[in-house]
């Protein structure tokens, strides 16, 4: 039996999930992999007297994990960017393998960290919780050219959009409900503004397309402008609204964008509801593959963390300086930028998509003709229209238009022109239609 001594930084939701899973399934893991997990040391800001530490030594300084010669692998489960990055750097510098669930650190500093030291750095849990999507991209689909990755990768957004659809509730009502249920943080900005999904898409794009781990290169839009009305109109047009991370390669270049999108009601992703996550990968040989599962939660995330730990345990890397030198670095290189030919990243202005437009106008004859003529002046064709007779509370009416596929900069110009019309009386909502393969 190969003994693997782990050191855990943090004692929150995920760390406690890891401890619980080692406790309940530790012997099963040993039988299956030949690796016996020993929780050697835990370091976290505050002790949690009610938590079973499985005999581990406890201290409050996370750097104790690096200094302890009896710790073979470090699990960074504190989150945030400062101390977490510092800990990963010092562990790798000391040739200690690291497993992290921290998407923010990888999306911001992945290139730098993966280039450092010989020890492997693994981060399966950083994207889509329990779903083994990193391993699938690195290994399961390694023989393929990846053409597109579409992800529902933020459980809070997916939960909120699902409840808005099923119960017809307003955004703010659903947000409060999500906060009460623990599906949204007290400060929900990170999730509902799309930042969390963008961190995850940064990682998926790097693995699928060999881009750098550059969070700032993504286009990011959250779900705060989506109303129950939009969801209803989308349904009438045959779509569901999902918050998507899209990394897609076309002849024009690579698109990396995070925003709400209209997904055909019959599409696989449309059936992924509530807090569930899903990632659809389109590749040349395997075709369309869909991975779905819980994207968060102590046990689900611990499953991904321990998958990384066990794979390190079976890799022959732990405890062998020579193995680390020859294999550890190449494992990191496989996850680092530059393994695929460099791809031109498209500016958002240059992407092409069909669009849903909801235009609030005065309730007067001739307004639709005026809107249609403004779109036509930009050569934008209309695929479908919904115009309700019934005015809204503020006496405005909504004209809802589905356009054909148009270049983003052209839609932007048309929207500026529409917004300047005196018959348009509020903010125009634009939701892009998800690309199809
Ligand atoms: N929760 C999920 O479902 C989930 C899913 C996927 C990925 N993740 C990622 O997993 C990581 C951990 O998330 P979590 O939900 O477990 O967070 P959490 O519940 O807030 O736990 C963080 C732990 O780290 C400790 N900590 C924070 N700052 C520290 C410091 N300066 N020194 C020592 N210890 C410190 C905290 O101490 P205290 O106990 O004193 O607060 C706490 O025990 C994050 O990167 C997160 O993005 C989480």
Give the number of the atom of ligand 1 that is nearest the alpha carbon of residue 76: 11
pLDDT given for residue 393 in this prediction:
72
Averaged pLDDT, 133-159 = 97
Do both 84 and 184 map to the same domain? no
Q: What percent of the chain has pLDDT over 70?
A: 95
Q: Whose CA is nearest to atom 36 of ligand 1?
A: 10
**pLDDT beyond 60 at 338:** no
Give the chain's length.
437
**pLDDT beyond 70 at 409:** yes
**pLDDT beyond 80 at 390:** no
Do both 90 and 37 map to the same domain? yes
**Local confidence band at 340 (pLDDT 50, 70, 90 cut-offs):** low
Q: Which residue in the list 96, 200, 240, 242 is annotated as catalytic?
A: 200
Strand segments (E) across 251-301 = 253-264, 276-283, 287-294
Do both 221 and 361 map to the same domain? no
Q: 381 versus 327: which is more confidently predicted?
A: 381
**Local confidence band at 329 (pLDDT 50, 70, 90 cut-offs):** low
**pLDDT beyond 80 at 85:** yes
Q: How many folded domains does the chain comprise?
A: 3
Q: What is the pLDDT of residues 151-161, one digit of tens each?
A: 999 999 999 99
How far is ligand 1, taken at its centre, from the CA of residue 173, in Å?
A: 28
Give the number of the atom of ligand 1 that is nearest the alpha carbon of residue 297: 3
Do both 429 and 386 map to the same domain? yes
In a domain, 343, yes or no: no
Q: What is the pLDDT of residues 22-71, one digit of tens each?
A: 999 999 999 999 999 999 999 999 999 999 999 999 999 999 999 999 99
pLDDT given for residue 24 in this prediction:
98
Q: Residue 215: give its domain's CATH number.
A: 3.30.360.10
| Distance of alpha carbon 164 from alpha carbon 174, whole angstroms | 7
How far is ligand 1, taken at its centre, from the CA of residue 71, in Å?
A: 20
| Distance of alpha carbon 62 from alpha carbon 59, whole angstroms | 8
In a domain, 340, yes or no: no
Averaged pLDDT, 199-217 = 95
Averaged pLDDT, 75-89 = 97
Q: Residue 370: give its domain's CATH number.
A: 3.30.70.260
In a domain, 249, yes or no: yes
Burial class of residue 259, CB neighbours in 10 A (0-12, 13-18, 19+): buried
**Local confidence band at 319 (pLDDT 50, 70, 90 cut-offs):** low
Do both 121 and 48 map to the same domain? yes
How far is ligand 1, taken at its centre, from the CA of residue 4, in Å?
A: 23
In a domain, 320, yes or no: yes
pLDDT given for residue 325 in this prediction:
59
> Which of 278, 293, 308 marks a domain boundary?
293
Burial class of residue 224, CB neighbours in 10 A (0-12, 13-18, 19+): middle
Do both 229 and 176 map to the same domain? yes
Do both 60 and 97 map to the same domain? yes
In a domain, 75, yes or no: yes
**pLDDT beyond 70 at 337:** no
Residue of 8, 9, 14, 123 to mutate, ligand 1, most atoms within 8 A of C-beta: 14
Do both 286 and 169 map to the same domain? yes
Do both 286 and 211 map to the same domain? yes
pLDDT given for residue 322 in this prediction:
53
What is the widest separation between alpha-carbon atoms in the chain?
Answer: 80
Q: Which domain holds residue 360?
A: 350-433
In a domain, 9, yes or no: yes
Q: What is the pLDDT of residues 105-126, one digit of tens each?
A: 999 999 999 998 779 999 999 9
Rg (CA), the chain: 24
Active site residue 48: no
Do both 25 and 89 map to the same domain? yes
pLDDT given for residue 324 in this prediction:
61
Q: What percent of the chain has pLDDT over 90?
A: 87
How far is ligand 1, taken at its centre, from the CA of residue 423, in Å?
A: 51
In a domain, 344, yes or no: no
Give the number of the atom of ligand 1 that is nearest the alpha carbon of residue 16: 16
pLDDT given for residue 316 in this prediction:
80
Provide the whole-model pTM.
0.95
């Amino acid at each position: 039996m190969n003994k693997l001594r782990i050191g855990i930084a943090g004692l929150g939701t995920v760390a406690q999930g890891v401890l619980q899973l080692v406790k309940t399934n530790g012997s099963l893991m040993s039988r299956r992999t030949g690796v016996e997990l020993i929780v050697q040391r835990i370091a976290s800001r505050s002790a949690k007297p009610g938590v079973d530490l499985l005999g581990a030594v406890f201290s409050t300084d996370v750097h104790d994990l690096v200094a302890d010669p009896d710790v073979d692998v470090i699990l960074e489960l504190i989150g945030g960017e400062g101390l977490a990055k510092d800990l990963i750097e010092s562990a790798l510098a000391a040739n200690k393998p690291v497993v992290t669930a921290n998407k923010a650190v990888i999306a911001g500093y992945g290139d730098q960290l993966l280039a450092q030291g010989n020890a492997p750095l693994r981060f399966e849990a950083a994207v889509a919780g329990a779903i083994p999507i990193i391993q699938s991209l690195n290994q399961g689909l390694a023989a393929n050219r990846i053409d597109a990755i579409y992800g529902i990768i933020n459980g809070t957004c997916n939960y909120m959009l699902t409840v808005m659809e099923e119960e017809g509730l307003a955004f703010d009502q659903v947000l409060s409900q999500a906060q009460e249920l623990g599906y949204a943080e007290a400060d929900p900005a990170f999730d509902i503004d799309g930042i969390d999904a963008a961190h995850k898409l940064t990682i998926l794009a790097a693995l699928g397309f060999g881009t750098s781990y550059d969070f700032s290169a993504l286009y990011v839009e959250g779900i705060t402008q989506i109303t129950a009305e939009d969801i209803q109109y989308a349904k009438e047009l045959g779509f569901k609204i999902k918050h998507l991370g899209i990394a897609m390669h076309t002849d024009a270049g690579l698109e990396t964008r995070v925003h709400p999108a209209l997904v055909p009601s019959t599409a696989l992703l449309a059936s992924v509801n509530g807090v569930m996550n899903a990632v659809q990968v389109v590749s040349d040989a395997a075709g369309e593959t869909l991975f779905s599962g819980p994207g968060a939660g102590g046990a689900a995330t611990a499953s991904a963390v321990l998958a990384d730990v066990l794979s390190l345990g079976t890799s022959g890397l732990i405890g062998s300086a020579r193995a680390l030198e020859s294999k550890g670095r190449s494992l990191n290189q496989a996850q680092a930028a530059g393994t695929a030919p460099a791809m031109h990243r498209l500016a958002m202005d240059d992407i092409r998509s069909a669009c849903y437009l909801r235009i609030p106008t005065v309730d007067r004859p001739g307004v639709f003709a005026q809107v249609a003529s403004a779109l036509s002046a930009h050569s934008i064709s209309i695929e479908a229209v919904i115009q309700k007779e019934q005015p809204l509370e503020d006496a405005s009416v909504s004209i809802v238009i589905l356009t054909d596929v148009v270049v983003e900069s052209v839609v932007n110009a048309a929207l500026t022109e529409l917004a300047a019309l005196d018959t348009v009386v509020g903010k125009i909502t634009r939701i892009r239609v998800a690309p199809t393969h």
